[in-house]
Homo-oligomer: A and B are copies of this chain.
């Protein structure tokens, strides 16, 4: 195992350039750790002329990424094209079916075709690695697949999208509203011109699908994820949450429940006493809870040139050193479909904000509705004296379906002047 591992990089955006820089800058150390050299043999991207801030003149260039996979001078492909289908998927299949290593940062591809590609990789005895696909530089795939492998996990959750976390952190710090902070984030380059993919929770859900599969040994089940983004989070809710000892974060949660595996992405109140509440700005974090290890927390930068390149090259070092692990921790054939819990059966505590006429008896009416659905009030804030006033409540654990019914009835009360705002809380 002293020959060089020759890699082909498909896609030369920010991360591709980062991988080129990293291998140049830390090459000697990487060789010592991998037991042999890792060298870029060829690259593929659309625009040959674009200045990427790195010297690409030494590498062979292919216009068609598939040629990288068929090239006899390439042992391993680093796929940084992106997208669930199209060129990325074709390249994955071309690479893995030839028994070559496929390393990717592509969470959409994994969320949609992860199990199928893992099966293909096993058939052809190729390595299929994707540390960079979830939580950037945090080695969370390795942690779930190897570091915590002795544990039966009960819940995995985290903050997986830096754009959303930046916006929510900024909203809290400044008291400004969502649209305003989003516009600023776009100006600063922290949010895309079309931000829907991030702020509507899709990107987070792609990553959660991968974590769920790793944590519970089941095939990725992206379509079963309940997804809500952060568009409706109001500055006033962040302020009330803070008053009640909580922060609002966009959480991705996968857990075992009596009704099956529950997967959900939504804004949630988290108590300040838990480390996840202190993960700010563009940082990501993942919490894994195991039967022997208890609670573990992993935090770091979730995106960007350096962190993502760090994860890609860690995978390459493992491959170069001959370390092999099944893509999702167990052989693809043992990935067992598990019952998936419907969101109606979700059980948890909630935050509820109402706007009501400031009249005697209003709280009594609301409390009666909650009582009828067996929803129990934990705390209640009523602020100011005006024609309409906000009423903010934390309620104890209840079933989502019950909560929904209660909120519908409350919304129909004459004294309630605006649609109620409900945000889930995560028990930590």
Residues of A within 8 A of B (CB): 18, 22, 25-26, 29-30, 32-33, 35, 131, 137-139, 142-143, 146-152, 217, 275, 278-279, 290-301, 306-307, 309-311, 313-314, 317-318, 321-326, 329-331, 334
Contact = CB atoms under 8 A, between A and B. Distances in A.
Oligomeric state, in number of copies?
2
Given A137-B296, A300-B293, A310 B143 contact: no
Contact of A26 (B151, B275, B318): B151
A102 B313 CA distance: 28
B33 A292 contact: no
B137 A292 contact: yes
Contact of A317 (B30, B150, B295, B311): B150
Given A149-B33, A322-B324, A299 B297 contact: yes
Contacts of A329: 33
A147 B291 contact: no
A307 B294 contact: yes
Given A32-B217, A146-B314, A331-B32, A301 B293 contact: yes
Contacts of A152: 25-26, 29
A370 to B, nearest CB: 34
A290 B308 CA distance: 12
A313 B330 CA distance: 16
A324 B317 CA distance: 12
* Chief secondary structure at chain A's binding surface: mixed
A279 B151 CA distance: 23
A413 to B, nearest CB: 41
A261 to B, nearest CB: 15
A147 B324 contact: no
A84 to B, nearest CB: 26
Contacts of A306: 291-294
Contact of A330 (B32, B295, B300, B334): B32
Given A137-B148, A150-B310, A321-B325, 14 more contacts: A25-B291, A137-B290, A139-B147, A142-B143, A147-B314, A148-B310, A148-B314, A150-B317, A291-B306, A293-B301, A293-B311, A295-B300, A297-B298, A323-B324
B296 A138 contact: yes
A30 B149 contact: yes
A185 B290 CA distance: 26
A3 B279 CA distance: 45
Which of A217, A294, A301, A323 has the most C-beta atoms of chain B within 10 angstroms of its own C-beta?
A294
Contact of A299 (B149, B275, B313): B275
A150 B311 CA distance: 8
Nearest to A299: B297
A321 B330 CA distance: 11
23 contacts: A22-B150, A25-B291, A26-B151, A33-B149, A33-B326, A131-B147, A137-B290, A139-B296, A142-B142, A142-B146, A142-B147, A149-B317, A150-B313, A275-B299, A292-B313, A293-B306, A293-B310, A295-B301, A296-B301, A297-B298, A297-B300, A321-B325, A323-B325
Top 4 A-B pairs ranked by shortest CB distance? A139-B147, A150-B313, A137-B293, A296-B300
Contacts of A324: 321-323
A38 to B, nearest CB: 10
Nearest to A312: B150
A96 B71 CA distance: 43
Nearest to A336: B32
B139 A32 contact: no
Contacts of A149: 30, 33, 313-314, 317
A350 B296 CA distance: 31
Contacts of A217: 29, 32
Given A146-B317, A150-B313, A291 B325 contact: no
A160 to B, nearest CB: 15
Contacts of A297: 297-300
Contacts of A26: 150-152, 291-292
